[in-house]
Chain A
Amino acid sequence: MAQIFHRSTNLIARASIYGAVLIIGGLGYALYAIALSPWYTEQGLERQQPVPFSHRHHAGELGIDCRYCHTSVEQSSFAGLPPTQTCMTCHSQIWTNASMLEPVRESYRSGQSLAWTRVNALPDFVYFDHSIHVSKGIGCTTCHGPIAQMALTYRAGTLYMSWCLDCHRQPAQYVRPRSEVFNPFYEPPSASHPVMFEGKEFTDQLALGRLAVKEYKIHTLQYCSTCHR
């Protein structure tokens, strides 16, 4: 009787044992890598806006305070987007003829709000409150990244739950003095760049963070219902 399989089948059969492990492992790794990649999370992706608003120029170069536009950040869950009138406080005086700003003037004339493209949007099943974070010493740039360097705004974090939990599990690594919350140039303390807090000079984030966690009574809230209400 003729052989059904060629001799080489032996090798293929043996190789397939390792092959299966490698392929399944490789697939799992690939899926995980894709899930974490900016291609999937859109982390760092600059959004096109109706007006190419630059945080670098306004918050960085001109030094306008975050709260000048995002007025409700200290009182409300939502930081707030400025009405066109806020833009026009300056732009009725300067750059009044810039074609780039035509949509702003059009919006002012018609009363129709500018339709900004949302950059940081949490899913509806997540409850997030800006005011509590800001009042407990979490800076704007802690989550929103180097906003004073962003020409067009992008999302600095993945917005994955791990990203939230990273801080909720160890807030001391991120918290800063309340006075520095709205400082877009704030740098965590280091040997060359100490930070004053409670009358003391700190050169180490963890030392400062631990004291701030105590002073500000920060709880490491990790109940599901903290955010999923």
Chain B
Amino acid sequence: MDLEGSQNPAGAAPEPLIRPGHTFETVTDKISSIVLTRGTTPGWVFGFLVGFSLLMLLNLVITLLMVKGVGIWGIRIPVAWGFAIVNFVWWIGIGHAGTLISAILLLLHQRWRTSINRFAEAMTIFAVMCAGMFPLLHMGRPWLFYYLMPYPNPMWIWPQFRSPLVWDVFAVSTYFTVSLLFWFVGLIPDLATLRDRAKNKAAQIIYGALAMGWRGSAVHWYRYEFASLLLAGLATPLVVSVHTVVSFDFTIALVPGWHSTIFPPYFVAGAIYSGFAMVLTLAIPIRKFYRLEDLVTDRHLDIMAKVMLATGIIVAYGYVMETFMAFYSGNLYERYMMINRLKGPYWPLYWMLILCNILIPQALWSRRVRRSIPALFVISLVVNIGMWLERFVIVVVSLHRDFTPSAWGMYTPTKWDWATYAGTFGLFFTMFFLFIRFLPMISIVEVRSLVHETSEENTHS
């Protein structure tokens, strides 16, 4: 799909990536003023407090979990993997859009990434933080998490390297490290801009220390570009590998509904699908509240909607293949697993998932829908819910009825399950609100590089 090409009739100039009329000065002013001169607005305080209250709820849940153990959640045999793993997969999937935008699209010279990559990367980092909490808490004794690391220890044993849960540790920690580095390296020139524009001494020192002595010399730029390229190269395989490893958590097991070779590609597509939905969910209100419509234009939203549509179709293919294979395999348990999804006790969730992930997003074929901000916002929320349901169906519905009917059971999340999930939203939004308050949420440097292009496009049109 030609993402850069707009839907204009053939021959017309493509729609510019940022609204014409911007100069280097106005771009820098616009983005840096959000941090430096706009101050702490009541709207921000309100949003932050909502996030922070939920974070405190997380604090409460974790404390209770430490005291009482994972029994406060609804996990009971046969469903030992409940919300914790559902939410882990969901959050980590969301992160993937940020990495795709910052790494793969950088290597592919997709210039539309520049206005959204910074906060998409921030979203990645915060989402991975939320994701990482769940397996740790699900262990029951989180303070022994370091047992998962291969380190010299007086027990003389290594982690079980044949276990996908150990692969997870490597995949997620690598992902977090590379994403954080990538994000920080990208921030350095902007931090220098903030340092130079800050009026207050403390801000100068903090931004100055973070800018690590950036002076904007040719050597600095050369190294900056080189480092970005290297990190993009490092991050590119991660877009594919992390969710592949996450899908191995399931496929390595023999449970019907998990043991399937289509999982890796279908998980990766699902991750990018949910990630772009989350970018849209965040971008639409932010660009409205901070009046960034000329930097994050309707065209950006349009392109993201197209990516969602494309990845959504891959995900739909995954569902179709799962269903097909369940019957084509001739395997009694596989077939029952699918029948159980379609009309078992959790049937409404499966059909809601089909509605949210396959049917409703088909509206994105229409340019009118893609250009309608409220419609896009609603669809992005619908996809977020749909992708969460997908993980619930995979984790819970597969586990609750496997081979032996005498071992079947039901899973009902407790209020603490919901509180943990809500609590990670608290963590996410607290971090995100701090980010938009104290760091430039759009890359000043990269958007400045677009100014030249749009002014050229103006002269052409």
Closest partner residue, chain B, to A32 (CB atom)? B152
CA distance A161 to B155 in the complex (A): 4
Does A160 count as interface, using CB distance less than 8 angstroms? yes
Sort chain A's interface into a size bin. 10 to 19
Docked-complex contact B156 and A4, CB < 8 angstroms: no
Interface size on B, residues (CB 8 A): 13
Q: Is B152's CB under 8 angstroms from A4's CB?
A: no
Judge whether A35 is part of the interface by a CB distance below 8 angstroms.
yes
Interface bits B99-131 vs A (CB < 8 Å: 1, else 0):
000000000000000000000000000000000
B residues less than 8 Å from A160 (CB atoms): 154-156
Tell me if B154 and A158 are in contact (CB < 8 A): yes
Closest chain-B Cβ to A78's Cβ sits at a distance in Å of 24
**Is there contact, CB below 8 Å, between A162 and B155?**
yes
Contacting pair A36 B195 (CB below 8 A): no
- CA A13 to CA B204, docked complex, whole Å: 17
Q: Which of B51-94 contact A (CB under 8 A)?
A: none
B237 at the binding interface (Cβ < 8 Å): no
By a CB distance below 8 angstroms, the chain B residues around A9 are 213
Assess whether A196 is interfacial by the CB under 8 Å rule: no
Known: A10-B213, A13-B213. A162 touches B205 (CB 8 A): no
Residues of chain A in range 119-175 having any CB-CB distance to chain B below 8 Å? 158, 160-162, 165-166
Q: Whole-angstrom distance from the CB of A30 to the nearest CB of chain B?
A: 13
Are A4 and B212 in contact, with the CB atoms below 8 A?
no
B208 within 8 A of A: yes
Contacts known (A4-B195, A10-B213); A165 close to B208, Cβ less than 8 A = no
A13 touches B212 (CB 8 A): yes
Tell me if B's interface is mostly helix, strand, loop or mixed: loop
Q: Is A5 close to B, CB under 8 A?
A: yes
Q: Is the CB of B204 within 8 A of A36?
A: no
Judge whether B219 is part of the interface by a CB distance below 8 angstroms.
no
Q: Is the CB of B208 within 8 A of A36?
A: no
Q: In the complex where A4-B195, A4-B204 touch, is A161 in contact with B156 (Cβ < 8 A)?
A: yes
Against B, the Cβ 8 Å flags (1 = close, 0 = not) of A1-35 are: 00011000110010000000000000000001001
CB within 8 Å of B: which A25-64 residues: 32, 35-36
Considering the complex, give the chain B residue whose CB is closest to the CB of A35: B154
Does B157 count as interface, using CB distance less than 8 angstroms? yes
Residues A4 and B205 in contact, CB atoms below 8 Å apart: yes
Chain B residues positioned under 8 Å from A5 (CB to CB) = 205, 208-209, 213
Q: In chain B, what residue has the closest Cβ to A9?
A: B213
Contact flag A165-B156 (CB < 8 Å), given A4-B195, A4-B204, A5-B208: yes
Report A-chain residues with C-beta under 8 Å of the C-beta of B154: 35-36, 158, 160-162
A213 CA / B78 CA spacing, docked (Å): 43
A10 to B208, CA, bound (A): 12
User: Known: A4-B204, A4-B205. Contact between A162 and B156, CB under 8 A?
Assistant: yes
Interface residues, chain A, with chain B CB atoms under 8 Å away: 4-5, 9-10, 13, 32, 35-36, 158, 160-162, 165-166
Query: Which B residues contact A (CB, under 8 angstroms)?
Result: 152-157, 195, 204-205, 208-209, 212-213
Q: Which 8 pairs from chain A and chain B are nearest by CB?
A: A162-B156, A160-B154, A161-B155, A165-B156, A4-B208, A4-B204, A162-B154, A35-B154
- Besides A5-B208, A162-B154, 4 new A-B residue pairs in contact (Cβ under 8 A), listed by A number: A4-B204, A5-B205, A5-B213, A161-B155
29 A/B residue pairs, CB under 8 Å, sorted by A: A4-B195, A4-B204, A4-B205, A4-B208, A5-B205, A5-B208, A5-B209, A5-B213, A9-B213, A13-B212, A13-B213, A32-B152, A35-B154, A36-B154, A158-B154, A160-B154, A160-B155, A160-B156, A161-B154, A161-B155, A161-B156, A161-B157, A162-B153, A162-B154, A162-B156, A165-B155, A165-B156, A165-B157, A166-B156
